[in-house]
Chain A
Amino acid sequence: MPTPAPQFPNRDSVTTIRADGSRPFIYPADVRGRFASARRISAYALIAFYLSLPWIKINGYPAVFLDIAQRRFHLVGLTFAFQDLWLLFFVISGVGFSLFFVTALFGRVWCGWACPQTVFLDHVYRPIERLVEGDAVRRRALAAAPMSLEKILRKALKHTLFVLVSAVFTHLFLAYFVSVPEVWEMVRHNPTEHWSVFVFMAVYTSLTYFIFSWFREQVCIVICPYGRIQSALTDDHTLAIGYDAVRGEPRGKSGTAGAGDCIACNRCVHVCPTAIDIRQGQQMECVGCTACIDACDDVMTRLGRPTGLVRYDSMRAFGGQKTKWIRPRTILYFFLLLVGASVASWAISTLRPANIGVTRMVGAPYILDDVNVRNQYLVRLVNKRNSPADFVLRVDDAPAGIRMIGFDRPVTVPALGEVVQPLILQQARAAYTGPFHFEVRIEDLARSFHLERKVDFLGPEARLLRATEAPKK
């Protein structure tokens, strides 16, 4: 059976979806060059970074440990409790606007250089495939070849390695949520002892395997929302990978009279992992992987022509005009970034290693006895640190003559624990002048931080209280 000729890319349809809905598998050719090398180095650095986070300990916890079971989130030495989840809004908007800003300036640098999908696919799974099945020509031939022992062995080896690598990645990903020792503990025990986690891991490993072994560029083309939203964030001044049509057109073999620099060798098409032709201009499938730049530079170098026929530049520059870096869009995104980042920093700076809640005890809102007006509260102290802490409670801004009962001694709250204790305030009837506000303030014994809560002291209107007393006297 002859290898079916791949459909030549056009702008009217997605190359990786045929007219009948089936998907032609892409076999991108190998590429070498300065961008390929730089991307390989940065990818390995990123993988090392992602995978080492659960191992590095800061303040006694892994650098990233999203402990869902204990509802404590440890990030680079900071510990967040569920009550701090509101911070996430500002952190995410800060990160989001940073991404807006970077995208408006540099286009899809995230996709090509830092996205885990690209990093793992281009620098882990594809190299394994290359090692086991050979270069693009061999891979395509192997896929088209009839079933044979060699084909079975090669395919089996490749897919076994894919599953193994996927399992390693998913286990380290799980370590983000349960920590490395816990993952190791679970791995050594019978799956029936932690059935739900086992099923989760099996499903997650299968998904990872499926995405990186078969689904691949479809994630970027069809699924990824960031890939799509970028069309709205970029403009003609944004850096992109493009083809210099002014220099390249009309295409023609080397030596043809009147021909431009492009020799129509189609190297840029053969190396493309999303099967597009970069010479057709900006396309939503392009993830900015730089393979076509390296491919074209290599050809131009061999021909003794200047490199950069395909290069990073703005659409304006490809049209012979100047790129404007400072423009309303980048100013706006930078402003939003600043707002997001400063609000996020402020929000994180308000974080305290404890929390306090003051609620009124069940029952009457206030109690009158013969001599006093009394309010009863329950104070909940939450210690977010992983060591016990002693707290001192104080009442501020209360009128003179208020007697505070409870909390006459420091309260010890266990590590990551909480203590609920009554707090009673009473005032002599004679001194009572009506309801008031006061402040409950806690400090740790080391006085490293304090927290306040505004609380109401309730009671009858002083006038009415006097009126009820009058007949007694």
Chain B
Amino acid sequence: MKQTIPESSDETLRPHSYDGITEYDKRLPNWWLNTLYITIVFWVGYWSYYQWLGIGQTEAEVVSIAMAKIEADRLSATTLDDAALWKMSQNADYVARGKVVFEANCVACHLPSLRGKTESPVAIGPDLTDTKWINGGKPTQVHELVMKGVLTKGMPTWGPVLGAKKITDVVAYIMSKHREGEAIVVEVSAPPAPTP
């Protein structure tokens, strides 16, 4: 097909040729160059803000501040003492919420009655309503046990799964089955069966 291409005048060609294709050396559009200049100006501001003047928080700082806040929340949750937990166990709201958590997570081993092995010999978990405790029966001890678990016996570390709030609730529910000041028997169980 015949093309009517105007002859180029004094155009300079770039010195390379690929598969016979050559190209002119044209100026970039001004708007294109301006976007480059704008990014350079932006870079100066950005660099000053984050690196030079240090006004902006870097991502690492944002993360460490958020982590510190989580840690603070956790600490405020773990400074619970026996008295506070006993009080919560008398509070209907805590107990009701704890019951929901218990029924979703704990009944598999400790049974809905909380009586575990006492109720049924095939149950996995021990009785939580009697006064015999394996790892200590103070509310704070129960709380710590739920948090950390007893890995060799199969009690999971519920801390990361449930979070501090739900664990406080569920401990309040368990302690609602007990009275403050009742006689506690700490019964050291037989050493766990070896897990090769």
Contact = CB atoms under 8 A, between A and B. Distances in A.
Nearest to B158: A362
B105 A222 contact: no
B148 to A, nearest CB: 10
Nearest to B162: A420
B2 A245 contact: yes
Interface in B133-187: 149, 151-157, 160-161
Interface stretch (B21-29, B51-59, B62-70, B73-81): B21-29
A319 B1 CA distance: 6
A184 to B, nearest CB: 32
Contact of B149 (A17, A362, A405): A362
Contacts, number: 110
A222 B29 contact: yes
What's the interface size class on A, roughly?
A: 35 or more
Contacts of B152: 364, 367
A362 B160 contact: yes
Contacts of A419: 104
Given A17-B29, A368-B195, A405 B124 contact: yes
Interface stretch (B3-11, B38-46, B82-90): B3-11
B27 A281 contact: no
Interface in A233-255: 245-246, 249
Contacts of A246: 1
A10 B32 CA distance: 22
Contact of B2 (A222, A249, A362, A364): A249
A318 interface: yes
Interface string A207-233: 000000001001000100000000000
Contacts of A19: 26-27
Contact of A424 (B32, B124, B160, B193): B124
A21 interface: yes
Interface string A367-393: 111100010101000000000000000
Interface string A445-469: 0000000000000001000100010
A378 B161 contact: yes
Contacts of B105: 421-422
B196 interface: yes
Given A19-B27, A218-B31, A318-B1, A368 B193 contact: yes
A245 B11 CA distance: 27
Contacts of A280: 3-5
A33 to B, nearest CB: 25
Interface residues of B, number: 39
Contact of B108 (A215, A369, A420, A422): A422
Contacts of B124: 369, 374, 405, 424, 426
A364 B154 contact: yes
Nearest to A367: B154
B149 A315 contact: no
B194 interface: yes
Given A12-B11, A218-B31, A420-B161, A406 B108 contact: yes
A22 interface: yes
A328 interface: no
Contact of B24 (A12, A20, A367, A405): A12
Given A363-B151, A367-B153, A424-B108, A460 B196 contact: yes
A424 B155 CA distance: 12
B30 interface: yes
Interface string A293-333: 00000000000000000000001001100000000000000
Give the interface centre of B24, B154, B196 by most chain A CB atoms within 10 Å: B154
A361 B159 CA distance: 12
A20 B1 contact: no
Contacts of B27: 17, 19-21
A363 B154 contact: yes
Nearest to B155: A363
A322 to B, nearest CB: 15
Nearest to A251: B4
A279 interface: yes
A13 interface: yes
A194 interface: no
A368 B2 contact: no
Contact of A362 (B4, B122, B157): B157
A376 B149 CA distance: 13
Nearest to B33: A21
A222 B149 contact: no
Nearest to A16: B29
Given A281-B3, A367-B195, A419-B104, A374 B154 contact: yes
Interface string A244-272: 01100100000000000000000000000
Interface in A400-415: 403, 405-406
Contacts of A378: 161
A366 interface: yes
A19 to B, nearest CB: 7
A252 to B, nearest CB: 13
B109 interface: yes
A197 B21 CA distance: 48
Nearest to A22: B30
Interface of A: 10-14, 17, 19-23, 215, 218, 222, 245-246, 249, 279-281, 315, 318-319, 361-364, 366-370, 374, 376, 378, 403, 405-406, 419-424, 426, 460, 464, 468
Interface of B: 1-6, 8, 11, 24, 26-33, 104-105, 107-109, 122, 124, 149, 151-157, 160-161, 192-196
9 contacts: A10-B8, A11-B5, A11-B6, A22-B30, A222-B32, A280-B5, A364-B154, A374-B124, A376-B156
Given A22-B30, A362-B156, 16 more contacts: A11-B5, A13-B24, A21-B27, A21-B28, A218-B31, A245-B4, A281-B1, A363-B151, A363-B155, A364-B151, A367-B153, A368-B195, A369-B193, A374-B124, A406-B107, A421-B105
Pairs A-B, 6 closest by C-beta atoms: A363-B151, A406-B108, A367-B154, A21-B30, A361-B156, A21-B27
